[in-house]
């Protein structure tokens, strides 16, 4: 046993040495340079995939920002994040199809509440009309209620009991699977789409083909991220959130209302998830399993940027999105999760605190 322990000691010592060397060679600036080089190469060599990657990354960013905010304020990895995003997407789906005329109604839902205005309209080249925006707003309201309600019912009780972070994460996992089961009970395992039919691809400079849907997605995602940035860095609420995230004890002493900060964290996270969910569902088929599969890229993005740092999560999500899409040119599309996983392991080996993380 003693020799085994000594061997472990030696291995650990060596690992720490390697890591120190790696951290020295590839510090934060090295990492930025690496990402820059990757982006330039991708932009030159795989233009089309690069642009698609940016769009996918901007949607991922909304989820990753919420994840990293919750991590910063509540100090646990919310493993229910992907499934909550799916809940938002499915609620919007319900507003679009469960509420409208008989022929568009999803057969597995046995009731309809009447017409949602504009649900079948189309705006120009887009595949949707203003009904879609109403449905997205409805999804956002449902997700706010869900997130805040869940915090009151589950996480607040655990906070009062001063449970360890792992108990929070385990509870989140329970929530994730229960939520996925609810989606399966109501909508079943079949893939769903918001709008049938195809929309044309337009040509843009540098031979890039894009649907108007995709441009809309990118603009909305970046716009939402900008709004969050303004809230966090230009308002008093944002200031207290950042202060709480940096040092909870100090924030408490300086009279910051913890409950208010936590509630607003869930509200912002919920709205971002609803937006991300509906944007994602515009691009791809909705499946209940998608929620859990999203966890890996979301966490990879949040950790790459430095957990607790929203601006890091944004950059990280763009990197993960671009890497995943560009990888399709070289590997099978089934390996997209593997790309996120490799990024995750690399960043944990080289610089666990991420791009924006502080030294502690």
Partner 1 sequence: MISPNRIVSASVLFLVAFFVTALPFERSGFDAEGTVSFLTTFLTTVAIYGIFALALNVQWGYTGVFNFGVAAFFMVGAYTAGIVTKPPDDSEFVQYIGGFGDFLSPDVLDSEEWLRFVVGTAAAGFASGLLAFLLSIPTLRLREDYLAIATIGIAEVLRRMVIEEGSVVNGTNGLVGIPRPFGGWFDPSDYKYAMLVIAVVVLVLVFIAVERGIRSPWGRVLRALKEDEEVVEASGKNVFAFKMQGFVLGAVIMGIGGSVFAYARGSIGPDSFTHFFATFLFWAMLIVGGSGNNWGAVAGAFFVWGIWNISLQLNGYDMPGVLQTRVFYIRDFLIGAMLVMILLLRPQGLIPEERRVSIWVDRRMRRLQRKQPPPTAEAGP
Segment near partner 1 (CB under 8 A); pick from 25-33, 121-129, 249-257, 329-337: 329-337
How far CA 40 is from CA of 25, 27, 54, 222, in Å, comes to: 21, 20, 13, 20
Residue corresponding to tokens 């040119």: 329
* Nearest residue to 93 (alpha-carbon basis) of 122, 114, 110, 116: 116
Q: Does 295 bind partner 1 (CB under 8 A)?
A: yes
Smaller CB distance to partner 1: residue 119 or 296? 296
Helices 212-234 and 47-74 cross at an angle (nearest 10°) of 30
Residue 156: enclosing H or E segment and its boundaries? helix 156-160
Count of residues in the chain: 360
**Least Cβ distance, residue 343 to partner 1 (angstroms):** 10
Please tell me whether residue 21 binds partner 1 under the rule CB under 8 A.
no
- Nearest approach in angstroms of CB 128 to partner 1 is 29
Nearest CA to 288 out of 213, 142, 201, 183 is that of 183
201 sits in which H/E element: strand 201-204
Backbone angles phi, psi at 289, to 5 degrees: -70, -20
Verify binding: residue 27, partner 1, rule CB under 8 A: no
Helix or strand or coil: residue 113? coil
Kindly tell me which of 51 and 69 has the beta carbon lying closer to partner 1.
Answer: 69
8 A C-beta contact, residue 208 and residue 54: no
Identify which of 127, 177, 124 has the alpha carbon closest to the alpha carbon of residue 289: 177
**Only segment of 21-29, 43-51, 112-120, 150-158 that touches partner 1 (CB under 8 A):** 150-158
344 touching partner 1, by CB under 8 A: yes
> Binding residue for partner 1 (CB under 8 A) from 60, 143, 276, 296?
296
Q: Is 337 in the site for partner 1 (CB under 8 A)?
A: yes
Q: How many residues bind partner 1 (CB under 8 A)?
A: 53
Of the candidate residues 112, 123, 141, 292, the single one contacting partner 1 (CB under 8 A)? 292
159 to 198: interface string for partner 1, x by CB under 8 A: ----x-xxx-xxx-xxxxxxxxxx-xx--x----------
The residue (of 180 and 211) whose beta carbon lies closer to partner 1 is 180
- Exactly one of 72, 77, 310, 316 binds partner 1 (CB under 8 A); that residue is 77
Among 218, 299, 314, 356, binds partner 1 (CB under 8 A): 299
Indicate whether 334 belongs to the interface with partner 1 (CB under 8 A).
Answer: yes
Question: Of the listed pieces 112-120, 127-135, 255-263, 346-354, which binds partner 1 according to CB under 8 A?
Answer: 346-354
Task: Round to whole Å and give the CA distance between 276 and 285.
Answer: 14
77 vs 131, beta carbon nearer partner 1 = 77
Q: How far is CA 344 from the centre of its chain?
A: 15
The answer to whether 215 touches 52, Cβ cutoff 8 Å, is no
Output the smallest distance, CB 3 to partner 1, in A: 12
Residue 14 in tokens: 């060596």
d(CA 206, CA 259): 50
Q: Find the Cα–Cα–Cα–Cα dihedral 272, 159, 181, 113, rounded to 10°.
A: -60
Binding segment for partner 1 (CB under 8 A), chosen from 44-52, 125-133, 151-159, 261-269, is 151-159
Residue with tokens 């190469």, as numbered in its chain: 41
Q: How far is the CB of 316 from partner 1 (least distance, A)?
A: 13
Among 34, 123, 154, 243, binds partner 1 (CB under 8 A): 154
Find the angle CA(314)-CA(319)-CA(323) to the nearest 5 degrees: 150
In the complex, the residues that contact partner 1 under the rule CB under 8 A are 1, 5, 8-9, 12, 15, 76-77, 79, 108, 110, 154, 157-158, 163, 165-167, 169-171, 173-182, 184-185, 188, 292-293, 295-296, 299-300, 303, 332, 334-335, 337-338, 340-341, 344-345, 348-349, 352
């Amino acid at each position: 046993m003693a020799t085994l322990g000594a061997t472990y000691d030696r291995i650990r010592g060596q690992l720490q040495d390697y890591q120190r060397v790696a951290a020295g060679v590839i510090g934060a600036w090295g990492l930025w340079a690496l990402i820059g080089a990757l982006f330039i190469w991708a932009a030159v060599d795989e233009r089309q995939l690069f642009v698609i990657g940016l769009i996918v990354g901007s949607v991922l960013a909304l989820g990753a920002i919420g994840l990293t905010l919750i991590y910063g304020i509540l100090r646990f990895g919310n493993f229910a994040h992907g499934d909550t995003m799916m809940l938002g997407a499915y609620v919007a789906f319900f507003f679009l199809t469960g509420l409208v005329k008989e022929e568009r109604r999803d057969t597995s839902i046995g009731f309809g509440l009447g017409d949602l205005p504009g649900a079948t309209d189309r705006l120009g080249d887009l595949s949707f009309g203003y009904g879609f925006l109403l449905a997205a707003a409805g999804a956002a309201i449902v997700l706010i209620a869900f997130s805040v309600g869940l915090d009151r019912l589950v996480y607040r009780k655990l906070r009062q009991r001063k449970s360890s972070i792992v108990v929070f994460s385990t509870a989140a996992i329970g929530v994730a699977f229960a939520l996925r089961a609810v989606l399966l009970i109501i909508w079943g395992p079949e893939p769903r789409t918001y709008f049938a039919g195809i929309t044309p691809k337009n040509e843009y400079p540098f031979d890039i083909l894009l649907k108007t849907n995709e441009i809309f997605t990118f603009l909305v995602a970046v716009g939402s991220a900008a709004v969050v940035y303004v809230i966090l860095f230009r308002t008093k609420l944002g200031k207290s959130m950042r202060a709480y995230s940096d040092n909870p004890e100090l924030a408490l002493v300086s009279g910051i209302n913890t409950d208010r900060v936590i509630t607003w964290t869930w509200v912002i996270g919920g709205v971002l998830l609803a937006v991300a969910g509906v944007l994602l569902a515009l691009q791809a088929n909705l499946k209940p399993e998608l929620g859990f599969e999203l966890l890996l890229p979301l966490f990879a993005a949040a950790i790459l940027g430095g957990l607790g740092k929203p601006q890091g999560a944004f950059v990280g999500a763009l990197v993960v999105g671009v890497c995943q899409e560009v990888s399709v040119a070289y590997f099978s599309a089934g390996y997209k999760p593997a790309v996120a996983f490799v990024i995750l392991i690399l960043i944990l080996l080289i610089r666990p605190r991420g791009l924006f993380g502080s030294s502690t």
